[in-house]
Chains A and B, each alone.
Chain A
């Protein structure tokens, strides 16, 4: 159990961020429900937030992002909220018009 007694580094935070990102991408690629795709996007944005805060932490490195990392993470959270509102409105509109939220059926703009 030697890994429990030594302090964690920036790598651990970046690994968690990478895992959340990849999980979100897989979720976006495999779901057929439009709301499931939205949840995948939320996971991807969370991976970005974890990375920014990890780089901003003064505990890990001496030359860190500092306050800039925290502020960019805040802007990412606000943008995620806005994106969820618009995408949910689009999904509900699609459901009203077509009585389905299957993204495979949303092929009216197919070239």
Chain B
């Protein structure tokens, strides 16, 4: 089974890559629609699709928990808040507000220059360009399988520990990403499960930022409720 896996992995289409291109095209295309359309309702809809496609990118990178949080908090919370704002202020004159042509030209010129510089910079560094994770994991798996095969040929039995190591390597070659949700939860209360204990000095986890962001959220919600409260008009004297 394993030599077959190594032989087919060079020529076949890499479905991870195909999915990445499809989802990235979706995210970027709808982001362009957000920037270019004048209608505020269409902008809100395109923003939803763009953010959902971005969460797909996060799933592809193995950040399952962050991708789920992106879907729940961003798409389910923040954009719904924005759409409420759109609905509350959607008078006829504000649904399509046009920008002057000079602003468009200046904005697109500066944005295009920035994008050209950034993309050129991103593809400049050779070790960022392609990942050799799959090929090295495949090579390790094949080498270990050959080793075990020669051991069998010498007449020795394969122990349960070796079999387990082979299975672990096969898992690493087939998906590779560890499941990290529990480690994220432990890091938020100050325990780093992914580091050795001797390497942790001082504040290893994220307990203090977690507390700060909790209090920050509370203050922000109270402040938002205070700012957006209904106005009471006091007209002095005419209250009967």
Residues of A near any B CB (own CB < 8 A)? 1, 3-16, 18-27, 29-33, 35-36, 38-40, 42-43, 46, 49-50, 53-54, 56-61, 66-67, 70-71, 73-75, 77-82, 84-86, 88-93, 95-96, 100-102
Contact = CB atoms under 8 A, between A and B. Distances in A.
Overall SS of chain B's interface: helix
Given A14-B122, A20-B31, 17 more contacts: A20-B28, A23-B28, A23-B32, A26-B111, A31-B99, A42-B47, A42-B82, A43-B35, A57-B63, A60-B128, A70-B65, A86-B223, A88-B228, A89-B224, A89-B225, A90-B227, A93-B227
Interface string B25-48: 001100110110000100110010
Nearest to B181: A70
Interface of B: 10-14, 16-18, 20-21, 24, 27-28, 31-32, 34-35, 40, 43-44, 47, 50-51, 54, 57-58, 61-63, 65-66, 69-70, 73-74, 77-79, 81-82, 84-86, 88-89, 94, 97-99, 103-104, 106-108, 110-112, 114-115, 118-119, 122-123, 125, 127-134, 176-178, 180, 183-184, 187-188, 192, 194, 206, 209, 213, 216-217, 220-221, 223-225, 227-228, 231
Contacts of A22: 111-112, 114-115, 118
A78 B61 contact: no
B113 to A, nearest CB: 9
A74 B78 contact: no
B28 A53 contact: no
A7 B134 contact: yes
Contact of B34 (A14, A23, A91): A23
A11 B24 CA distance: 13
Given A81-B77, A92-B85, A12 B24 contact: yes
